[in-house]
Chain A
């Protein structure tokens, strides 16, 4: 079949300005997008740059956007994108520094972030036989996280990365989970110094896009939530987040539901004049519209004492 490929182009050795090249290609009906790219490079434009490695949908090296959606070009069939017309638009991922054409900087995209979370095991005590064996059952949950092959699809789907490229992202945080929850891990608190720092677990919006994008069902969002729950259990070290969580927990514990006015003030910190001043314009507007919830004048829900009991029991049992 005859298909037109419209490909994003950028050549740092020329002017470096992004553009687009158009190629009419005759390919078999069952061809993949990668087949098309190879044909173009081999037959008409040897300067076209793209990546591919395993060519069987595992490594993620060939990931590009096909008609706006991230796909492994080695497994994406051209025919899946030609329903509306025989034309394919190929681009690099949304948020990556492009090196040339469809080739982007994997170090910046993912590997530097994986390195930042200390992706190795530091066991409490070296085993005498050097094996550090753990019972199989204890590794069952981790094995799923360990099946990640770093294709980067979760980072491509992430909601935060397009507004903040320095966010560690779901791939690196899933790697962090794998070691933080390893029963042999020595010092979880030490690991959390990075994870609770800027651009770490508290910057995740837990929107579940990563879980929807992951081709392996590893559920990176749920891993990040587990890391956050573990931080809550150990005592959150990120000061502002700690104030927010403490205030939230206190108002649910005391009244059964959330005192939003109190949460806004206590998240900033009662002695943080600068932070509180920052709230004022929004608070003033809200008050004028009759929608500023008054702090500390918060009626208890019926059954608040029952909620408190459940809350305290939950806290005790996980200590």
Chain B
């Protein structure tokens, strides 16, 4: 089982705990990662489509040459790439234009066969839940976990959940929490925006969203939250203290990256999953996990 790995900049920049956790977890699971290095930023929804689509087409062409599907650990990268791929696959004329005008110079061509998947989708759709269960070394019994999907791993539907069958994707994180032995704390905003995209344009609204989601999870008794998106993590974890100050309430909810959450259930120690690098202290999670070993 091998993927063209697209880790995204945040997994080594603002969230440097993510990349090594994902690599360790993938190795433990037996998922082989061939990291794409000679590729560009997806544009993250900041760069306009007329610039990011050709850059993403180049990434897809590189993966296509390797004959591998792309796997990301960042919902934003996955979302932007899935949307670009939807346009490129669905419109042969558009793809031909991008190939001709942008990729031909490097003798690259995107034929439209690359698939883009997030690690969360890989677990359910390629890897198999029974296989995952057989590797669990520390079921996270008693750990109350709120899921936080964010936007781009659920929408827009034509690119993310194009068939009725794939509508299941909207529930993978809820399912995974149970599969890893933890207890689900459901929250109303789990598929909403974390506020990160407007941190620059409207910080007050952005922090209000952080306060709303983390506050609800805390009030409902969650020990932590888990997210497949490092940009959600940047806001929900990194800016949680500022959200607490703005909203006038104490929250203190640890936010785990998906691979860290998986890693704990696979038997890695919190230290190996770099929990100490988070802004919101993770002691509650660590002490619960330590009682399980």
Contacts and interface: CB of A to CB of B under 8 A. Distances in A.
Interface in A215-245: 219, 221-222, 225, 228-229, 232-233, 238, 240-241, 244-245
Interface in B203-261: 204-205, 208-209, 212, 238-239, 241-242
A314 interface: yes
A261 B39 CA distance: 20
Nearest 5 Cβ contacts at the A-B interface:
A208-B155, A303-B38, A229-B48, A307-B40, A202-B201
Interface string B3-15: 0000001100111
B202 A202 contact: yes
Nearest to B276: A289
Nearest to B106: A306
B117 interface: no
Interface residues of B, number: 54
B102 interface: yes
B200 A211 contact: no
A107 interface: no
Contact of B48 (A228, A281, A291, A307): A228
Given A228-B48, A260-B13, A307-B55, A160 B205 contact: yes
B111 interface: no
A216 to B, nearest CB: 15
A290 B277 contact: yes
Contacts of A302: 37-38
A55 interface: no
A249 B38 CA distance: 18
Interface residues of A, number: 60
A50 interface: no
Contacts of A306: 38, 58, 106
Given A208-B156, A240-B201, A317-B50, 9 more contacts: A205-B198, A206-B197, A207-B151, A222-B156, A228-B48, A260-B10, A310-B102, A313-B101, A314-B54
Contact of A245 (B46, B151, B212): B46
7 contacts: A160-B198, A205-B197, A212-B155, A285-B241, A285-B279, A307-B58, A317-B50
A163 B208 contact: yes
Interface string B40-57: 110111111111001100
A209 B55 CA distance: 26
B157 interface: yes
A221 B156 contact: yes
A303 B242 contact: no
Given A206-B197, A232-B48, A311-B55, A291 B17 contact: yes
A248 to B, nearest CB: 5
A311 B55 CA distance: 8
Interface in A160-176: 160, 163-164, 167
Contacts of A291: 14-17, 277
Nearest to A244: B200
A310 B54 contact: yes
Interface of A: 159-160, 163-164, 167, 198, 202-209, 211-212, 219, 221-222, 225, 228-229, 232-233, 238, 240-241, 244-245, 248-249, 252, 256-258, 260-261, 267, 281-282, 285-286, 289-291, 293, 301-304, 306-307, 309-311, 313-315, 317-318
A252 B40 contact: yes
A208 B197 CA distance: 13
B89 to A, nearest CB: 17
A282 B58 contact: no
Contacts of A293: 13-14, 16
A244 B206 CA distance: 16
Nearest to B206: A205
Contacts of A202: 198, 201-202
Contact of A258 (B13, B50, B157): B13
Interface string B148-170: 00011001110000000000000
A144 B194 CA distance: 30
B123 interface: no
B278 interface: yes
Contact of A163 (B38, B102, B212): B212
B202 A212 contact: no
B17 A256 contact: no
Contacts of B37: 301-303
A240 B198 CA distance: 11
Given A203-B198, A229-B49, A315-B51, A303 B40 contact: yes
Q: Which of B16, B51, B55, B212 has its CB near the most chain A CB atoms (within 10 A)? A: B51
A2 to B, nearest CB: 30
Contacts of A258: 9, 13, 41, 44
A301 B62 CA distance: 15
Contacts of B46: 244-245, 248
A306 B239 CA distance: 35
Contacts of B278: 289
Nearest to B195: A205
A316 to B, nearest CB: 11
Nearest to B161: A212
Interface in B68-108: 101-102, 105-106
Contacts of B48: 228-229, 232-233
A122 to B, nearest CB: 25
B259 to A, nearest CB: 16
A225 B49 contact: yes
Contacts of B205: 160, 163-164, 167, 203
